[in-house]
């Protein structure tokens, strides 16, 4: 009898110990959406504005837990072409505390914008007959153990 009680007590301690790891995410991240917006700043000198929006839905508790444990968002740019898409730029990685990366009530979000000059890496097609550019991003959410989910964004078209 005493032995069984001792075992039960040990099991209880073990269970409490697991619950005590308060920052371990309870739910696996399964969903990610990526959006790319490329705008035109017609000032002098002209520029292109890049805006990335990446969302990994989950509750706020899990969002903080993932970021505390090394979760991050990583972005690469590609040019859409017939055949193989050309790698253009990256990877750029945002960790907890980096500007633009937040954990909130609807999950982990990256909202990040910057400007590049005309004719930057976004100018993926510059041929005589084909000057139009088609650019998208692949965004990955990588958790602290290396588990990865990813999404390709919309394609932005223009003369970048
Ligand atoms: Ca192209
Ligand atoms: Ca071009």
Would 12 be classed as within a structural domain? no
In a domain, 99, yes or no: yes
Residue 70 is predicted with a pLDDT of 96
Q: Ligand 1 centroid vs 43 CA: distance in angstroms?
A: 26
Q: How far is the CA of 81 from the centre of ligand 1 (A)?
A: 4
Mean pLDDT score of the chain, rounded to an integer?
89
Who wins on pLDDT, 13 or 59?
A: 59
92-112 burial: b if 16+ Cβ within 10 Å, else e: bebebeeeebebeeebbbbeb
Q: How far is the CA of 139 from the centre of ligand 2 (A)?
A: 23
Q: Name the residue range of residue 35's domain.
A: 23-158
Residue 76 sits in a domain whose CATH number is 2.60.40
- Residue 135 CA to ligand 1 center (angstroms) comes to 7
The answer to the question of residue 35 being in a domain is yes
17 belongs to a structural domain: no
Question: Residue 53 C-alpha to ligand 2 middle, in angstroms?
Answer: 23
Ligand nearest to the CA of 131: 2
Please count the other Cβ atoms lying within 10 Å of the Cβ belonging to residue 25: 20
Å from CA of 78 to ligand 1 middle: 9
Give the tens place of pLDDT for each residue, 31-50: 999 999 999 988 888 899 99
In a domain, 5, yes or no: no
Residue 117 forms part of a structural domain:
yes
Residue whose pair of structure tokens reads 């972005």 in the numeric block:
75
* Residue 19: predicted pLDDT: 46
C-alpha 115 – ligand 1 centre gap (Å): 21
* Interatomic CA distance for residues 146 and 57, integer angstroms: 18
Which bound ligand lies closest to the C-alpha atom of 135?
1
Question: Based on the structure, what is the number of domains in the chain?
Answer: 1
Question: 158 — phi, psi (to 5°)?
Answer: 170, -175
43 CA distance to ligand 2 middle (Å): 19
- Unique residue bearing structure tokens 């898409």: 85
Q: How confident is the model at residue 20 (pLDDT cuts 50, 70, 90)?
A: very low
The answer to whether residue 16 is domain-embedded is no
> What would the mean pLDDT of 58-71 be, rounded to a whole number?
96
CA distance 31 to 140: 10
Domain assignment present for residue 13? The answer is no
Confidence of residue 2 (pLDDT cuts 50, 70, 90): low
* Residue 53 in tokens: 């929006």
Residues 88-106, mean pLDDT to the nearest whole number = 98
Indicate the pTM of the whole model: 0.83
The pLDDT score that the predictor gives to residue 46 is 84
Phi/psi of residue 117, nearest 5 degrees? -70, 160
């Amino acid at each position: 009898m005493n032995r069984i009680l001792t075992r039960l007590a040990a099991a209880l301690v073990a269970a409490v110990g697991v619950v005590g790891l308060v920052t371990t995410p309870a739910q696996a991240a399964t969903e990610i959406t990526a959006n790319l917006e490329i705008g035109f700043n017609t000032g002098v000198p002209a520029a292109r504005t890049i805006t990335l929006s990446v969302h990994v839905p989950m509750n706020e508790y899990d969002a903080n837990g993932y970021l505390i444990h090394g979760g991050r968002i990583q972005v690469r740019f590609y040019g859409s072409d017939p055949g193989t898409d050309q790698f253009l730029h990256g990877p750029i990685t945002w960790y907890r505390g980096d500007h633009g990366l937040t954990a909130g009530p609807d999950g982990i979000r990256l909202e990040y914008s910057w400007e590049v000059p005309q004719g930057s890496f976004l100018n993926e097609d510059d041929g005589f007959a084909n000057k139009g550019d088609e650019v998208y991003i692949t965004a990955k959410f990588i958790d602290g153990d290396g588990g990865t989910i990813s999404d390709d964004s919309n394609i932005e078209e223009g003369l970048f």
